[in-house]
A and B are shown apart, each in its own frame.
Chain A
Amino acid sequence: MAELVLRLYIAGNSAGSRRAEQNLHDLRTLLNEAWHIEIIDVMRRPELAEQARIIATPTLSYEHSGRPRRIVGDLSDKKRILEFLGIETGDDP
């Protein structure tokens, strides 16, 4: 099975960045082992941010063949994010 890569771009230690990281961490428990998560601090690796044309953080990028799909925000809307990743949760709130 191909590896599914999620890249979270954050900026330093800001409250928004920490919140997004925590939310992604929580989401991870709902994902299977095929998912691989990378966290990139654009303050430390500005070249990666530039390469990926990141203009706002936090940005979650779903890297798969072809064009990456992205969402921007603190990842607090978990249901929508799972939808975005194409994962059925089954439990409707």
Chain B
Amino acid sequence: MYSRHSDLQDGARDSAGRVEIGTSMTDTANRPNIDHGEIRFLIEKNADGIIVVDEMGIVLFANPAAEQIFGRSSDSLIGSPIGIPFVAGEMTEIAIHRPGGDQIDAEIRIVETVWDHRPARLASLRDISGRRAMEERLRHSAKMEAVGRLTAGIAHDFNNHLTVVLGNLESAMRRSRSADPLLKRALENATRGAQQAAVLTERLLAFARRKPLEPRLISPEDLLSRMSDLLQRTLGEKIEVQARIAAGLWGIEVDATELEAAILNLAVNARDAMPCGGKLILEAINVETAAPDRSVADSEIADGPHVLISVADSGMGMTPEVLNHVFEPFFTTKTDGRGTGLGLSQVYGFVRQSGGFVSVLSRPNIGTTVKIFLPAAASSRSPSCHIEPAEQETPRQLPAARPGETILVVEDAADVRNYTVSSLRELGYLVHEAADAVSALGILEREPGIALLLTDLGLPGEMDGKTLGDRAQSSHPSLRVLITTAYAAAALVHEGRLDPGIELLNKPFSFSALAVRVRELLDTGLDDEHMGSRILVVEDEPLLHAFVTDMLAEWGLLAEVAGNFREAVTKIRTDADGLVGAIVDLGLPDRPGHELVAEIRSLYPDMPIILATGYADTSIRARFANVGRLRILPKPFNAVDLIAALQDLGVHASRAE
């Protein structure tokens, strides 16, 4: 910008270093006739606003960019008593107040000049509101990141202590069945308190984006309809709940429980913002790109299709100062103890961890709208996905050990280890214990018959629980590994989800959770020998391979999906263990399916192959007539056709319960 001033100065600089523009007087005093057409052009077209102000602080001239910045026409600006702009140094910042109350931050630079033979000041103004807002957002996201790290650290340690407290309370209660009822009540109260503390740390972890999520492909339509029914029933008569859920919403891959919690948190905030009643609108639509509405600066946000879920209220709204802090944990305006200050923190943490983002719009006395953008699942921009039903917790007898089952417990915190070891012994397991990875590996070498390694993720020394698990399994392939952790650290969570094959037990864990999880894991292994045979599914259409995968799973078979010829060949060459068959689409994107059939045959002459094709005419049948253990499956096919063809080829499939 400054250089453009120099252009002007080169044209007409007098000895005092002043720029002289428009020196000719015309018939009106404040409408000079500018002789220099080029200078005039430069000023008119300048992207920065330019005004000329006289020694009394009255505006003499304004260019079109200045009209934009001030939100006023040149006619109304000329004659305005803006004041003499004084700038010490190169430039300063001022706020421009536009008609209607909007405010724009502007950088202002001054050059002394002569206008109509009188000294004047030429001020150039640059709108920096956008840059300001961007800087503010960056600062905000850096702050949230720092608070998140702090929170995760505290919650992690706290969970360790809670494991000890809850575990010992449970053990004390088991031993005091016939004891004094007062003692029992005291123990129950202590347990309740500790459980509430565990809920609190869970929320902290949710904010810190460290809570292990279980994302599943869900249909937001179903979930939101259920939520709006729930809200209608629970928010009370004074609040009118309106649901505007668009039909045909794309599928999203999120943890359904956390999404429900997020909407509930927003609804509770909305209710509390409307003590005298009002309107709550739950809205959901597909948006092709979320970019224009973005109010966060995180660079990792992906553009592209999102499902937008918004919760709007007609409540008291928030001031910009409050708005600035809303996502911080423990920030609350609910002074009467109704709020924990963790509601919006959960929303923020969950949405960011799910690859989306949140924006909050609020105006005092008008209301607040919170918008959640969640990325549409790549494979499911179709409305036909099913929500998985939530698991029903049923009370049951705690599963105990089978005779001789041995577990190795690795945990550096002695009290947590003692609790875990004594709990497992109580369940009938034989238990070895170690405080670090190196001694754990030593025990594994010495002691035969260890079926399960139960290790903390964070261990002293160079090896963490995950590395220990990997090492132990490489020398003992049948060993099961269960990792305990107070939070899902980066080592286990990638892009917000658990690495495949990692079995996790979250701290604090209860006696019963430990019993159930250990039993489950030890039993899964037994099932695997009968079930879980793998079938290679080579299909480029995502919806179709998702369908086939589901069907196979229903029959206890595991689909190994490849999208094209190349992927399929890599899979059969490198990872063929346990492959009991292949389902190949005849039309593949890179090379024809029949070449893949030949490739599979050359490597595995006996592997059963199903060739799926929409053109199952006689010529195709004739072409493959001489290939053994191959069936042609005409599209469209259903589950019965597929399973029948597999069974026909000798693949064992039985309906999974």
Q: Does A76 contact B80, Cβ atoms closer than 8 Å?
A: no
CB distance from B139 to the nearest CB of A (A): 13
In whole angstroms, how far apart are the Cα atoms of A42 and B102 in the complex?
12
Q: Is A75 an interface residue (CB 8 A)?
A: yes
Chain A hits for B93, CB < 8 A: 15-16, 74
Complex Cα spacing A73 to B108, Å? 9
**Complex Cα–Cα for A71 and B106 (A):** 16
Contact yes or no, A73 B96, CB < 8 A: no
Which of B56, B83, B95 is close to A14, meaning CB atoms less than 8 Å apart? Answer: B95
Main secondary structure of the interface of A (DSSP, over half): mixed
Interface centre among A15, A53, A70, A75 (most CB of B within 10 A): A70
Q: Is B85 among interface residues, defined by CB-CB distance under 8 A? A: yes
The 8 Å CB contact of A16, one of B70, B83, B84, B95, is B95
Q: Which residues of chain B have C-beta atoms less than 8 A from A74's C-beta?
A: 92-94
Q: A42-B97, A74-B93 are in contact. Are A56 and B83 (CB under 8 A)?
A: yes
Q: In A44-93, which residues have CB < 8 Å from any B CB?
A: 46, 49, 53-61, 67-77, 80-81, 84
Interface of chain A residues 17 through 49 with chain B (CB within 8 A): 17, 42, 46, 49
A6 interface residue (CB < 8 Å to B): no
Per the bound structure, the CA–CA distance linking A84 and B105 in Å amounts to: 25
Interface residues of B in 37-85 (CB under 8 A from A): 56-57, 70, 72, 80-85
Q: B81 contacts which of A15, A17, A70, A76 (Cβ < 8 Å)?
A: A70
Chain A hits for B85, CB < 8 A = 71-73
A57 with B95, Cβ < 8 A, contacts A70-B57, A71-B57, A72-B57 known:
yes
On chain B, the number of residues with a Cβ less than 8 Å from chain A's Cβ atoms is 25
Tell me if B101 is interfacial: C-beta within 8 Å of chain A: yes
Which residue of the partner chain, among A54, A67, A71, contacts B86 with CB atoms under 8 Å?
Answer: A71
The docked-state distance in angstroms from the alpha carbon of A69 to that of B84 is: 8
Task: Indicate whether B182 reaches chain A with its CB closer than 8 angstroms.
Answer: no
> B620 near A: Cβ within 8 Å?
no
Q: Is the CB of A76 within 8 A of B89?
A: yes
Shortest B601–chain A CB gap in Å is 75
Residues on A with C-beta less than 8 A from B70 are: 55
B382 within 8 A of A: no
Query: Which residues of chain A come closer than 8 Å to B86, judged between CB atoms?
Result: 71-73, 75, 77, 80-81, 84
Q: How far is the CB of A23 from chain B (nearest CB, A)?
A: 9
In the assembled complex, the Cα of A16 lies from the Cα of B72 at a distance in Å of 23
Q: Give the chain A neighbours of B108 by CB distance below 8 A.
A: 72-73
Instruction: Tell me whether A16 and B92 are in contact (CB under 8 A).
Output: yes
- Shortest distance from the beta carbon of A24 to any chain B beta carbon, whole Å: 13
Within 317-349 of B, Cβ neighbours of A (below 8 Å) are at none
Residues of A within 8 A of B16 (CB): none
Q: Are B88 and A58 in contact (CB under 8 A)?
A: no
Check A71/B92 contact, CB under 8 A, given A42-B97, A57-B97: no
Residues in chain B near residue A80, CB distance under 8 A = 86, 88
**Residue B103, interface by CB 8 Å:** yes
The minimal Cβ–Cβ distance linking A61 to chain B, given in whole angstroms, is 7
On whether the beta carbons of B94 and A72 are closer than 8 Å, the reply is yes
With A53-B80, A60-B83 in contact, is A69–B56 under 8 Å at CB?
Answer: yes
A49 to B100, CA, bound (A): 12
Nearest CB in chain B: distance from A74 CB, A: 5
> By CB atoms of chain B within 10 A, which of A11, A15, A73, A77 has the most?
A73
Contacting B97 at CB < 8 Å: which of A54, A81, A84? A54
Residues of B399-446 whose CB lies within 8 A of A:
none
Query: Is B133 positioned at the interface, with any CB of A under 8 Å from its CB?
Result: no
Q: List 16 A-B contacts (CB under 8 A).
A: A42-B97, A55-B70, A55-B96, A57-B94, A57-B97, A58-B95, A59-B82, A60-B83, A61-B83, A68-B81, A70-B82, A71-B86, A72-B82, A72-B83, A72-B86, A77-B86
Residues of B within 8 A of A (CB): 56-57, 70, 72, 80-89, 92-97, 101, 103, 105-106, 108
Beyond A55-B82, A69-B83, 12 additional pairs, beta carbon < 8 A = A14-B95, A16-B94, A49-B97, A55-B80, A56-B82, A57-B94, A70-B84, A72-B57, A72-B82, A72-B108, A73-B88, A80-B86
The 4 closest A-B pairs by CB, nearest first: A70-B83, A77-B88, A72-B83, A76-B88
